[in-house]
Amino acid sequence: MKPIVALVGRPNVGKSTLFNRMTKSRNALVDDFPGVTRDRHYADALWDEIPFTVVDTGGFLVSDDDVFAAEIREHVEMAVEEADVVVLVLDGRAGVSPFDQDLVHILRRSDKPVFYLINKIENSRQRDDLAEFFTLGMDKFFPVSAEHGVGVPTFMDALIGVLVDEVLLAPPMDEKEAAENQEICIAVAGRPNVGKSSLINRLFGTKRVVVSEKAGTTRDAIDLTMDKDGKTFRLIDTAGIRRKGKVREKIEKYSILKALKSLDRCDVALILVDASEGVTDQDITIAGYAHDRGCGAVFVLNKWDLLDKEEKNQKMFMEELRMKSKFLSFAPAITVSALTGQRTHKIFSMVESVYDEYNYRINTGLLNRIIENAIYRSEPSLHKGKRLKFFYATQVSVKPPTIVCFVNYPEAVHFSYKRYLINQIREMAELEKTPINLYFREKTGKMEFTGKTVAEKRYTEKKFKTTTRRKKARMEQQRRKRARDGMDK
């Protein structure tokens, strides 16, 4: 297991900027407004070929009017408890704060190695003004600028010196084990306050993300990894996606962009719908975002326990959902309650079945037989008086299954016939829960589908042989007749 490094500090000291610098990414949301980060944010980092995990935490305040302050403090304490090394980030521009004193006292009571970083130090003049930080009682600190990278390499070298024993003691993972531990990436998406964070906490069986009845609690896209039944799942808790017309704040715009990017990198999207409010237009819009990005999808109808007995007509609810989301007719749906845990244990098995089809490769011979038989049952329409010829088909990639058909006139394939072919592939290859991409490319050549089944082919070949034999017999009979006529003369 990789060693864990937790970044802690009061709000707006630059923890998320340092997190992005250490992980060489832009995973953490950064803004000048304090309190952007509320949950624990995990990401892998590598320095001098030594891997480790970095945890970004929310700003720590002992007492605050913010309704999330208590939740954030709890998550900071949990991050410190599970970390191998703790990094306390201080603000070099603002100076020492009473909250810094409180954090230092808390960290001294723990038995974890602690690194003290004074951030936002960009020149020698600022370094000369750091004497007040010695009042915190630290023996050594690292002046850095997370935004510009100044002093960060020196800190990373010192950090690796502490972590290297942790890494060397960990047994290496062989190739077979690495293949078995391939992650299935799941993004939890939906409108604000539909229960995304509550569902993730329920799936983990512990409090991993901040939950509140206030809409917009989750701002960043939070990656969380867990092992279940020998498989590794990476869950991404995303910010609620509201209608564009209702988004005003800059930080919310960034949050929605991060949520949409999460759909780009996930394998399966859990589209959460608030069953107590019914299927809304925004739910269908979010489902459309997942469909456009080509990821697998599962509809999760949350808060099912809040419905009255008269309203718990699952058949009618599903019919309404299918009617409004015809473009995701292949996506399975399940009714759950994140609060009580009702049917939430079925989500992982459903995700696995979707992922297996999402990552499936069809045998080329079988694929061509499916297309051939589909053309025989329903031939495509003529193009400018000429027959549309299908030469052959091949699957070029997975996630999702992507198929290319070579034809003589690619632009002549009507979208309705393309949909017909996709449905035939879905039915015959038993890919009922995954999106399928089908493209047409131009190909010139003699090989083409005859539009006949195997039985029809055999019948045609037999008929051709019989006709040829009869023709040869007639020609031989005529030759003999001409020879007889010549002898008679």
121 is in an annotated binding site: yes
Residue 225 is assigned to a ligand binding site: no
9 labelled binding-site residue: yes
Asked if 301 contacts 335 with a C-beta cutoff of 8 angstroms, the reply is yes
Nearest to 199 by CA among 342, 29, 92: 342
The answer on whether 378 is annotated among ligand-binding residues is: no
User: Is 95 one of the annotated binding-site residues?
Assistant: no
Q: Is 245 annotated as a binding residue?
A: no
**Nearest of 331, 334, 330, 419 to residue 380 by alpha carbon:** 419
**CB neighbourhood size of 431 (10 A):** 20
Tell me: is residue 196 an annotated ligand-binding position. Answer: yes
Q: Are 56 and 41 in contact (CB under 8 A)?
A: yes
Does the annotation list 190 as a binding residue?
yes
Q: Is 122 annotated in some ligand binding site?
A: yes
Residue 6 annotated as binding? no
Sequence-distant (6+) residues with CB within 8 A of 307 are 275, 276
Determine if residue 31 is labeled as part of a ligand binding site: no
Task: Determine if residue 445 is labeled as part of a ligand binding site.
Answer: no
419 belongs to an annotated ligand binding site = no
Q: Is 58 annotated as a binding residue?
A: yes
Determine if residue 23 is labeled as part of a ligand binding site: no
* Residue 211 assigned ligand-binding role: no
238 is in an annotated binding site: yes
Could you give the CA distance from residue 11 to residue 31 in angstroms, rounded to a whole number?
A: 11
DSSP notation for 77-103: HHHHHH-SEEEEEEETTT---HHHHHH
Are residues 239 and 219 in contact, defined by beta-carbon separation less than 8 angstroms?
yes
Answer whether 124's CB lies under 8 Å from 97's CB: no
For the chain, percent helix, then strand, then coil, each to nearest 5? 45, 20, 35
Establish whether 239 is an annotated binding residue.
yes
Cβ atoms 5, 84 nearer than 8 A: yes
193 labeled binding residue: yes
Residue 304 annotated in ligand binding: yes
Secondary structure of residue 237 in the 3-state scheme? strand
Give dist(CA 272, CA 301) in Å, integer.
6
- In whole angstroms, what is the distance from residue 19 CA to residue 475 CA? 89
> Was 192 annotated as part of a binding site?
yes
SS3 label, residue 399: coil
Report the C-alpha gap between 375 and 370 in whole angstroms: 9
Q: Determine if residue 237 is labeled as part of a ligand binding site.
A: yes
385 annotated to bind ligand: no
Report the C-alpha gap between 89 and 18 in whole angstroms: 9
Give the closest residue to 251 by CA, choosing from 88, 30, 71.
Answer: 30
Is residue 15 within 8 Å of residue 8, measured between CB atoms? yes
Is 149 labelled a binding residue?
no
Residue 399 CB neighbour total at 10 angstroms: 15
User: Is 53 marked as a binding-site residue?
Assistant: no
Instruction: Tell whether 60 is in a known binding site.
Output: yes
- Count Cβ neighbours within 10 Å for each residue of 234-271 and write b for 16 or more, e otherwise: bbbbbbbbbeeeeeeeebbebbbebbbbbbeebbbbbb
Total residues belonging to the chain:
489
Q: In the 8-state DSSP scheme, what is residue 303?
A: -
Helix or strand (DSSP H, E) at 458: helix 454-488
Give the residue among 30, 3, 8, 17 at the shortest CA–CA distance from 76: 8
Q: Which residues participate in the annotated binding site for GTP?
A: 9-16, 56-60, 119-122, 190-197, 237-241, 302-305
Binding site, residues? 9-16, 56-60, 119-122, 190-197, 237-241, 302-305
